[in-house]
Structure 1
Amino acid sequence: MDGMVRPVCVFRECSKYLANYLQAPTSLESRFFSDNGQWENAPLLKGTTKFEALVDAKNILITGGAGFIASWLVRHLVLTYSTEYNIISFDKLDYCSSLNNTRMLDSRNNFRFFHGDVTNPTDVRRCLKLHKIDTIFHFAAQSHVDLSFGNSYNFTKNNVYGTHVLLESAKEAGIRRFIHISTDEVYGEVDKDADDLLEHSALAPTNPYAATKAAAEMLVTAYSRSYNLPVIIVRSNNVYGPHQFPEKVIPKFVNLLQRRRRLIIHGDGQHSRRYIYAGDAADAFDTIFHRGHFGQVYNIGSVDEVTNLELCMKLLAVFDIPQTEAGDWIEHTKDRPFNDRRYAVDGTKLRQLGWEQKITFEEGLRITADWYRDFPNWWGDITNVLTPFPVIMGQSAVPGRLRTREESPVLKATSANASRNSPEVTATKKRKIDVTM
């Protein structure tokens, strides 16, 4: 296709490709590169929107493209606009990324993967030049709030400095569109009776992760005003769905139930969040790309707000576990050092562009649970991830790598207690989700 530069490689020989062409570090864990075959049977999940192609966009870079949310947009754009756009997935393959999320696209002529780090100017500039990039979707970020309390420097490096590197490179390359993906957490906590926050509401982040995302937004805005870089900022509610690394609450709880283990809730369980299915989020990004206006901010606001306790009850229903048995399946633990009670944003501005939320929360939960049932080994061994609080190593070849069971007596105790105390899932006459592994 026009403008697409292709290295000579076979993507299914990924380790050879990365070693020879992308010079992948040998320290990365094997699961990033391994091909366990599960992706071959995975459905090609994407959004539903399609627009008339933009005349000034052709080669689109998506940072963090092997991660959860970004890979949904990668698949959507590659499959929906097969002749209109070339999609380059740029990812350093951190612990929550996997080539399996986009491996099913390897044979597509309009898809390429570039192994690089947004904090490395050489990687970024090389990719922009090699693939003649004109549009950037910037998803790449450290995003686990719990980890940000114990590893905040790494969040600043990746989320703030990485964004700065990308902006400077975009300015030099004459990028025509820079779409920056942020979060609703930059607004901070919203009182229960308060109005939903609008795009011009003040930013008041309360945790290290949210603070780095707000700082990154300030850089994006500064480059727009100082250098006339054409930017759009997107702030989304919590996204969930298939392909999500199980450190986040919904896939974690699904995987715990599949292993017949209790759901551990931080605090009293009354903290609430709004959730949006990944397919609807992909539609939102596609809509903003084709219809959004430069210099604007768009909230992706969901209508599905639930407390953590309500989320547990909905998931128990998905697994056909009676509410009368909820006490056997739900356990409370200490809260985070600080945990916002609620986030709430108004998505009217995005809806005025034509976007709509299509998947109900109950439907999305069932789709997600079914996917993890069908692909239980997608992420390899996730035992260490299914703990109430993540434990990270002081030094690690892979930033943010979770400690192994041998390295952490806390994990040993947690696993032992879970195995000892977890009830068996009761069989019912309703629709079943297999809880065996």
Structure 2
Amino acid sequence: MDTSAYPNWEHQIRAVGECEEHPPCWFVRHLTLTYPHYHIISFDKLDYCATLNNTRILDGRTNFTFEQGDITLPADVKRVLRKHKVDTIFHFAAQSHVDLSFGNSYQFTNTNVYGTHVLLESSREHGITRFIHISTDEVYGDVPIGAADLSETSLLAPTNPYSASKAAAEMMVSAYRKSFKLPLITVRSNNVYGPHQFPEKIIPKFIMLLQRSSKLLVHGDGSPTRRYVYAGDIVDALDTIFHRGDIGQIYNIASKDEISNTEICHKLLDIFGLPHLTSGDLEMRVQYTEDRPFNDQRYATDGSKLAALGWKQKTDFDDGLRTTVDWYRRFGEVWWGDISRVLTSFPVVEGTEIWTKEEHEALPSDDEGRLEEFYGEQEAPWTTGALNHLQNMQGAAKREDSVH
């Protein structure tokens, strides 16, 4: 990207956000290497899908610092803002995998809504001069085939817990912009793909399954489509918005590449040199699984507002996919450690633990866990109500004994 037309920003700190994931790590690397006079802070919880490998190339750079912390903990956020005199926040941090949101929606609300609230309130108190909130095209909801692409002024109509949490976060952003005049910009992007992405998302997951000679796991009939933007193009888009975008605006990052899940299967099988033209070939390579409770058929956004700032998509899907496959073939099995459970249908995440759906269903329920904790390893015959009653009686008895 030609940066000669950009103003010579002299702010000390350029970015804080949970950035050891993808695409934030791409943007952190870009800012650190392209703008040596910017001081970049990567703030990350190091959750299940994060790895310091993604920014290892920046170790030793004087304008890069890593800070571990959690955006849902105000003390963590305020500590970093004060310590580094941060003036600009890029808020990438989110629970973002739609499949997980159906089974673990509380965590999505906590991170995506409450975490955003913490960042906004901390920014207000600290005096942030620019806050760029990264959202998603999924907040618009399903777009019928043949319908016009949606602009930034279109109504939000999310259909799953993930997109609902991102839409709720946007409402919080809007409120802080209006009530406190916080200098905010919102970005809604199509699906991002490329090297370094945790293999819970469809493209890296399929690549890793093929690497292991396993079948591709396709939800439903494979017909839903998504528009894909290569990570390098996302970096250019965010750079453009950062240096040329206007405070208070919303920008779509929109791709022209709309690809169905079935098409992704065919393209990857072709790259791997595996036959896929007959139904028999596909039966050997693809396994159709249950669909999501609800699966939007397509998203479609209009990117003309961002194009007017000078951004355009440079990497077409086929070229980006080949580059992505090459990276995962070389590094995919060692980058994150054991990813076997991630490569199953509908894995379940709790904290930093990842389970297969079957393993998680076999775990004791919360009530069973409480009873086991109370009784030890012996079989507990009590219901939760009976246990509560028993505990209350024991407490009353202890109080009565202390009186006598």
Instruction: Write out per-residue CA displacement over residues 88-138 of structure 1, whole angstroms, 9 at most, x where no aligned residue.
Output: 000010001111100110111110001110001011011001101010000
Q: Check 1:120–1:280 CA distance in 2 against 1; reply closer, same or farther (3 A cut).
A: same
Contact 1:63 1:139 in 2 (8 A): yes
- Once the two structures are TM-superposed, the CA of residue 407 in structure 1 deviates from its matched residue by 4.4
Structure 2 counterpart of 1:429? none
Contact 1:237 1:301 in 2 (8 A): yes
Report matched runs for 1:314-393 at 5 Å: 314-324=267-277, 325-375=281-331, 376-392=333-349
Report matched runs for 1:56-75 at 5 Å: 57-75=11-29
Letter in 1 for 2:283: G
Report matched runs for 1:171-210 at 5 Å: 171-210=124-163
Runs of 4+ in 1 over 2 A off after TM superposition: 48-58, 322-327, 404-410
2:241 equivalent to 1:284: no
Report matched runs for 1:23-422 at 5 Å: 48=1, 50-51=3-4, 52-55=6-9, 57-82=11-36, 84-324=37-277, 325-375=281-331, 376-392=333-349, 399=351, 401-403=353-355, 407=359
TM-score w.r.t. the length of structure 1 is: 0.79
Contact 2:190 2:229 in 1 (8 A): yes
Letter in 2 for 1:329: R
Provide the C-alpha distance between the structure 1 equivalents of 2:258 and 2:324, rounded to a whole number of angstroms.
17
Provide the C-alpha distance between the structure 2 equivalents of 1:204 and 1:408, rounded to a whole number of angstroms.
31
- Once the two structures are TM-superposed, the CA of residue 317 in structure 1 deviates from its matched residue by 1.3
Provide the C-alpha distance between the structure 2 equivalents of 1:248 and 1:214, rounded to a whole number of angstroms.
21
Structure 1 portions without partners, runs of 5+: 1-47, 394-398, 411-437
Structure with max Cα Rg: 2
Letter in 2 for 1:74: V
Contact 2:17 2:42 in 1 (8 A): yes
Structure 1 counterpart of 2:393? none
Contact 1:179 1:232 in 2 (8 A): yes
Provide the C-alpha distance between the structure 2 equivalents of 1:329 and 1:346, rounded to a whole number of angstroms.
35
- Once the two structures are TM-superposed, the CA of residue 326 in structure 1 deviates from its matched residue by 3.0
Provide the C-alpha distance between the structure 1 equivalents of 2:325 and 2:89, rounded to a whole number of angstroms.
32
Provide the C-alpha distance between the structure 2 equivalents of 1:182 and 1:54, rounded to a whole number of angstroms.
27
Provide the C-alpha distance between the structure 1 equivalents of 2:205 and 2:142, rounded to a whole number of angstroms.
24
Contact 1:384 1:405 in 2 (8 A): no
SS at match of 2:43: strand
Q: Check 1:54–1:137 CA distance in 2 against 1; reply closer, same or farther (3 A cut).
A: farther
- Once the two structures are TM-superposed, the CA of residue 327 in structure 1 deviates from its matched residue by 3.2
SS at match of 1:275: strand
Provide the C-alpha distance between the structure 1 equivalents of 2:142 and 2:361, rounded to a whole number of angstroms.
34
Contact 1:186 1:204 in 2 (8 A): yes
Contact 1:65 1:74 in 2 (8 A): yes
Q: Check 1:385–1:353 CA distance in 2 against 1; reply closer, same or farther (3 A cut).
A: same
Letter in 2 for 1:79: L
Q: Check 1:261–1:378 CA distance in 2 against 1; reply closer, same or farther (3 A cut).
A: same
Query: Percent of counterpart pairs with the same letter?
Result: 61
Provide the C-alpha distance between the structure 1 equivalents of 2:293 and 2:168, rounded to a whole number of angstroms.
21
Provide the C-alpha distance between the structure 1 equivalents of 2:154 and 2:273, rounded to a whole number of angstroms.
41
Instruction: Write out per-residue CA displacement over residues 388-423 of structure 1, whole angstroms, 9 at most, x where no aligned residue.
Output: 211345xxxxx262127994589xxxxxxxxxxxxx
Structural RMSD (CA): 1.7
SS at match of 1:73: helix
Provide the C-alpha distance between the structure 2 equivalents of 1:406 and 1:187, rounded to a whole number of angstroms.
33
Structure 2 portions without partners, runs of 5+: 363-404
Letter in 2 for 1:354: G
SS at match of 1:68: coil
Contact 2:113 2:166 in 1 (8 A): yes
- Once the two structures are TM-superposed, the CA of residue 360 in structure 1 deviates from its matched residue by 1.0
Contact 1:189 1:340 in 2 (8 A): yes
Contact 1:135 1:178 in 2 (8 A): yes
SS at match of 2:355: coil
